[in-house]
Structure 1
Amino acid sequence: MSTVLPLPTPVLRNADRRGAREADKLAKRLRHQVGKAIADFGMIEDGDKVMVCLSGGKDSYTMLDVLLQLQKKAPVSFSITAVNLDQKQPGFPEHVLPDYLRALGVDFHIIEQDTYSVVTRVVPEGKTMCSLCSRLRRGALYTWAEQHGFTKIALGHHRDDLVATFFLNLFFHAKLSGMPPKLLSDDGRHVVIRPLAYVREADIAAYAEAKRFPIIPCNLCGSQENLQRKQVGLMMQQWERESPGRIETIARALGDIRPSQLSDPKLFDFLSLGHRDGAARADAHAWLAGEPHAAPAPGNDSDA
């Protein structure tokens, strides 16, 4: 039986130093990407009250952590409050987030609302729960934000989420739309921001591991295997394996839209393109009916 000898101490120290340098580089990259997204889209202004939605997953932990770092040296003054929605899922470790946030010294609030029972009662067994669950969660968070005067609601969606949503809408809803880095809610009362819009999911996973965040898994929708989003995610993973950098290229393309190169007459005035002054236009009904255009009457030449 062979004996495994311990590595010499200098080798361990060198590995630790390399790991620390890589962690520092990653943290710096995330701060740069989040700061750039905030600047590019005007996400945070002086005097903002930012409600950071904290789910207990790697994405929202990373978002909160990086925003707290940026807040210390930001060119504007803004407040941060971490808010979690306790949906009363069975087995949810209620103490984890409060303990973590108290140790961090962050202002926080836990909203308690039993959306779990509603979703499991309304959605038939075997059907995906994400749509209803997200609507209920969004409603609870928006209501609390309005009641407490928050000017921005920060969500932890990252670059890969934005690309995946684009393909979900393309493949399953026949529309070119996605998940914007900043949006106004449908009722016009809330501004939602996504500070991680430029950040790769792989970097978030590495950062969360390095920081040892107390991750809380979602046992409601995360355990459902036949989700359309998972199908798109697997497709994106395969693309990235076969052609590294493809997802980054697609993400950049979402910020470089050319309306004249697409087919939406609401975004580009195709009717006026190349139109000759005075030339009559036939509408779709006339084209489909196949009725010939009436010729000018003899002797009625306008140039005479």
Structure 2
Amino acid sequence: MKLQELLSHTRKAVDEYQMIQEGDHIAVGISGGKDSLTLLYALHGLKRFYPKKFELSAITVDLGYKDTDFTEVSKLCEEMNIPYRIVKSDIAKILFEDRKEKNPCSLCAKMRKGALNQAIKEMGCNKIAYAHHKDDIIETMLLSLLYEGRFYSFSPMTYLDRMDLTVIRPIMFVEESDVIGFKNKYDLPVVKSRCPVDGYTKREYAKNLVKELNKENPGAKQRMFTAILNGDIKGWPQRVIRTR
């Protein structure tokens, strides 16, 4: 995927769900993975021509794993002239040494978001951009059906009233395969995940299940995504589709 195609998908999401308003200061959550770095490129590119002017900052919560180095990410942000902050934490130690969690994902996400949101407010941002793509949205829906018995996926835009902060997901129309292609084409400085349960989660199971369903029923993945967009899911904002 070329940058122009990434920007087209991003503009579509931002316009249809009215994610960005004049004067917004958006923090890009950077894990160091391919998705968040692609999101950084997307919003940096969009900022150059989008009619509503906004500011960008980038932020990483360092979970405390050994041999995790964000130097190249820092250099990229510097090249893009985007302020970048790394928040140090002991989350990895708490999860795997102190508590010895067997299923750490939920608690990890909660602790990471807590540290992230606090730092974002200190930076003066009013929005945080997460790098969830199309496949993430479909997999979340499938997990919700299988384990919660409800048709749900996270919203393109969510207002957190306790933090007075809005979460946006600008690359929601981008497929993971295209993110991988973008990473390879632009040689993104990906920071390898050191999490010991990476690749062994329920989300990984859902990812493989979606692949299998789409293989056996060509087009199934896109139909699931369309069902989500048209599903009138509680909490989702009104979608505005402009005809030319």
* Shift in CA distance, 248/148, structure 1 to aligned 2, threshold 3 Å: same
Aligned to 1:162: 137
1:24-61, CA deviations, whole angstroms, 9 ceiling, x for partnerless residues?
Answer: xx332221111010011111100000000111111011
The answer to whether structure 1 residue 236 and structure 2 residue 210 are counterparts is yes
SS in 1 for 2:48: helix
- Read off the aligned partner of 1:93 and give its amino acid letter: D
Q: Deviations over 1:270-297 (max 9, x none)?
A: xxxxxxxxxxxxxxxxxxxxxxxxxxxx
Task: Deviation per CA, 1:147-170: give whole Å up to 9, x if none.
Answer: 222111000000110111111111
How far apart, CA to CA, are the structure 2 residues paired with 1:94 and 1:34? 25
| 1:140 counterpart = 2:115 | yes
Matched, 1:256 2:227: no
Between 40-49 and 82-91, the greater mean CA deviation after superposition: 82-91
Identity between Structure 1 and Structure 2 (%): 26
- Contact residue 130 and residue 221 of structure 1 kept, 8 A: no
* CA deviation string 1:52-92 (max 9, x = no partner): 01111110111110111111001111000011111111111
User: 198, 202, 219: which one pairs with 1:245?
Assistant: 219
Give the corresponding residue for 1:291.
none
Distance 1:188 1:100 in 2: 29
Q: 1:221 Cα shift?
A: 5.1
**Tell me, which stretches of 5 or more residues in structure 1 are unaligned?**
1-22, 265-304
2:32/2:70 contact within 8 Å kept: no
Number of residue pairs matched?
234
d(CA) in 1 for partners of 2:124 and 2:16? 25
Say which is worse superposed, 237-246 or 248-257, in terms of deviation. 237-246
Selected match of 1:61 from 37, 40, 58: 37
Looking at structure 1, the residues matched to 232 and 113 of structure 2 have their Cα atoms a distance apart, in angstroms, of 32
CA contact (8 A) 2:23 2:55 kept: yes
* Runs of 5+ consecutive residues of structure 2 not aligned to the other structure: 235-244
Counterpart in the other structure of 2:183: 208
What letter corresponds to residue 10 of structure 2 in structure 1?
A: V
Name the structure 1 match of 2:241. none
2:160 matched to which residue of 1? Answer: 185
CA distance in 1, matches of 2:164, 2:153: 21
The one-letter code sitting in structure 1 at the alignment partner of 2:74 is P
Do the aligned residues in 1 keep the contact of 2:10 with 2:170 (CA within 8 Å)? Answer: yes
Between structure 1 and structure 2, the one with the greater Rg is: 1
TM-score by structure 1 length?
A: 0.72
Asked if 1:115 is matched to 2:115, the reply is no
Q: CA 1:135–1:216 in structure 2 vs 1: closer, same or farther (change >3 Å)?
A: same
Please report how far the alpha carbon of residue 105 of structure 1 lies from its aligned counterpart in structure 2 after TM superposition: 2.7
- RCO greater where, 1 or 2, for CA within 8 Å and sep 6 or more? 2
Which residue is 2:6 aligned to? 30
Alpha-carbon distance in structure 1 between the residues aligned to 2:232 and 2:14: 24
Give 1:118 shift.
1.2
Q: What residue in structure 2 maps to residue 220 of structure 1? A: 195
- Which residue, out of 69, 86, 99, partners 2:75? 99
Q: Distance in 2 between matches of 1:166 and 1:88?
A: 31
* 1:97-150, Cα deviation, whole Å (9 max, x unpaired): 22232233322111112211111135435x122111111110011111222221
The alpha carbon displacement at 1:186 in A equals 6.0
Query: Contact 2:7 / 2:46 at 8 angstroms: preserved in 1?
Result: yes
TM-score (norm 2): 0.89
CA distance in 1, matches of 2:98, 2:173: 36
Query: What's the secondary structure of 1:208's corresponding residue?
Result: helix
Cα deviation digits, residues 208-246 of structure 1 (max 9, x gap): 110000111212155352x21111111011122233322
The answer to whether the 8 Å contact 1:87/1:112 transfers is: yes
Asked if the contact 2:64/2:89 (under 8 Å) is kept, the reply is yes
